[in-house]
Chain A
Amino acid sequence: MRGLVATVLAAALTLSSYGCGDLSRGELSRGVEALSGLAAQGGLIANGVARDATKSTYARAMAKTLGGEAEHEAEKLADAEPSPEVVDERNVAVQIASEIAELLSELQTFPGDEHHGLLVQRHLREAKEQADALTVRLTGEEA
């Protein structure tokens, strides 16, 4: 039942977000902005781990949830058919999404390790910067 509901929701989301055809520049841009937000939120969680200012169960559960969202975003972007002019940008976006998912997975594995927390925080900041730069490339506006 859980799988069925999740599949139906995922299909509905994909269709409503990207339509049945091309992934437009605007849609891709919104997806990349969402990735930037996920990286920022992950960075806040990682900051708590790095400062030993959080509870490991909280950091683990949040990293798992956010990592799942990033992975889902990567899959959505990878499955979508991009408009010809944004193929390269779509590929970069998939790469960023996968990287965010991996970093959050690492945080999920080491939620009580300050050193890992610091590294993940740093890399998530870089991922956010990449996502913001990609948004600027797509929209021509500052993120």
Chain B
Amino acid sequence: MKSILKIALGIIAALGGFLDIGDLVFNTQAGALYRYDLLWAVVLGTIGIAVYAEMCGRVAAVTGRPVFDTIRMRLGFGTGLAALIASTFVNLLTVAAELGGLAIVLELLFDAPFSMFVVAAAIVLVAVVAVLPFGGIERIFGYGGLMMLVVVVTIFHQSPDWGEVAQGFVPSLSGSTLYLYFVVGVFSAALMPYEVHFYSSGAIEEGWTESSLKENRLNAIVGYSLGGLLACALVIVSGYLFHPLGVEPNDLGTVALPAQGAFGETGLLLALGGIMFCVGGAAIDSSFSASYNVAQFLGWEWGRYRGPRKAPRFTFSWLIFLFLALLIVESGINPVEITEYAVVFSVVALPLTYLPILLIAGDRSFMGDHVNGRLANLLGWTYFGVIIVLAVAAVPLLLATNGGGG
């Protein structure tokens, strides 16, 4: 029973981290534009994040070191600083996008101005973090995010042509520049760097040791598989409903439309509730990640479990990140646009995040008997190759497609 409860860490990482505003937007748009053709990219990204999350959870449990600690240790101060700057920039954009997304959902549920909800959302997040312990935050957002399962049920209500759906899982790179842009977007939305930063720091917050390795593996496999299932479901319901109609989903609210079509107001409320918890959880994950990175790089005391008195600089930096994100959203920039830029720019920061994990997890002097096996090494290095290719292609594709506008 205890181990089942502990899988919550994987579930929040999957729903509040994996399924964030980036996944919601990119997967829904991918389905609307290319029907089921990009399902393979979702699966590719899901396996990638599960491989790296398992690795960094294992490193954290065995060595007691979170990701950013290993980055500085293995890459040195200069490269580590570059990684910190890149990750902080992307994390800040992500926090802003998630906060804005939360405000959009509140606006859809209650009738009041958007800017008021941005402030309300920030206050609620601060209150939740102040009142609840780390485990409580996990459970509230993780289990709340399970409402998104309504999207999976919607598939069966729509009853798509399963042969066509199955064809979407076969990789294909033949297509327009816009198609390639969405391959990058869908893949990198699954591998956002903050997810592993949060996952490994969360492992230390939870006091993982070598005895937690089984739990780590379960979290990575079950949690991210669930996240991947939901991401595929978003592509399928969008491909079924929006593609034939030529709908171009540019708003977060559109993500809830298929559930409304299938189950009326109940479906709509479940979808909006699920989105709210996913985006809210991701806002906490990404803002925590930004503070974790800075604190770990600079050697500050860090961790929610230490509390504001024992980790004052960590707590203060978290509040600063949230405040900066609030300013970005209040400036009037569309949160969905911020999301798209955060996802694409994150690809550039990916190699600096994932290389040190791979090096440490494969180093027997650090990991002892828990060093990467052949399969983990093969998958890790293969994915690292894919990440390098995408990192090179991301910005040219962003420019060539006018930010995905075609």
Contact = CB atoms under 8 A, between A and B. Distances in A.
Interface of A: 1-3, 5-6, 13, 16-17, 30, 33-34, 36-37, 40-41, 44-45, 47-48, 51-55, 57-58, 60-62, 65-66, 69, 143
Contacts of B246: 33, 36-37, 40, 143
Interface string B65-99: 00000000000000000000000000000000000
A89 to B, nearest CB: 18
A54 to B, nearest CB: 6
Q: Which 5 A-B pairs have the closest CB atoms?
A: A2-B332, A53-B264, A40-B245, A37-B246, A41-B247
Interface in B351-406: 402, 405-406
Best-buried of A2, A33, A60, A65 by chain B (most CB within 10 Å): A65
B272 interface: yes
A23 B108 CA distance: 36
Nearest to B263: A53
Contact of B108 (A2, A47, A53, A57): A57
Contacts of B254: 41, 62
A53 B332 contact: no
Given A5-B331, A6-B332, A53-B265, A61 B253 contact: yes
Interface in B226-260: 241-242, 245-251, 253-254, 256-257, 260
8 contacts: A2-B332, A3-B332, A40-B245, A40-B247, A44-B257, A53-B268, A55-B109, A55-B265
A55 B265 CA distance: 6
Given A6-B332, A44-B257, A54-B260, A16 B402 contact: yes
Contacts of A60: 111
B332 A58 contact: no
Interface residues of B, number: 31
B19 to A, nearest CB: 20
A30 B406 CA distance: 10
Contacts of B402: 16
B130 interface: no
Contact of A57 (B109, B251, B260, B333): B109
B300 to A, nearest CB: 33
B401 to A, nearest CB: 11
Interface string B318-331: 00000000000001
A30 B405 CA distance: 11
B315 to A, nearest CB: 29
B251 A65 contact: yes
B269 A55 contact: yes
B110 interface: yes
B206 interface: no
Contacts of A65: 251, 253
B34 to A, nearest CB: 15
A34 B248 contact: yes
Nearest to A56: B111
A18 to B, nearest CB: 12
B136 interface: no
Given A1-B331, A41-B257, A51 B264 contact: yes
B84 to A, nearest CB: 28
A62 B264 CA distance: 16
Interface string B103-115: 0000111110000
A82 B272 CA distance: 41
A34 B247 CA distance: 8
A1 B332 contact: yes
Contacts of A57: 107-111
A59 B297 CA distance: 46
A61 B253 CA distance: 9
B171 interface: no
Contact of A5 (B249, B261, B333, B406): B333
Contacts of B245: 37, 40-41, 44
A30 B247 CA distance: 13
A55 B247 contact: no
B272 A62 contact: no
Given A57-B107, A62-B253, 6 more contacts: A2-B332, A37-B248, A48-B261, A54-B260, A54-B268, A55-B108
Contacts of B405: 13, 16-17
A2 B334 CA distance: 10
A17 B401 CA distance: 11
B109 A62 contact: no
A44 B261 contact: yes
A29 B268 CA distance: 33
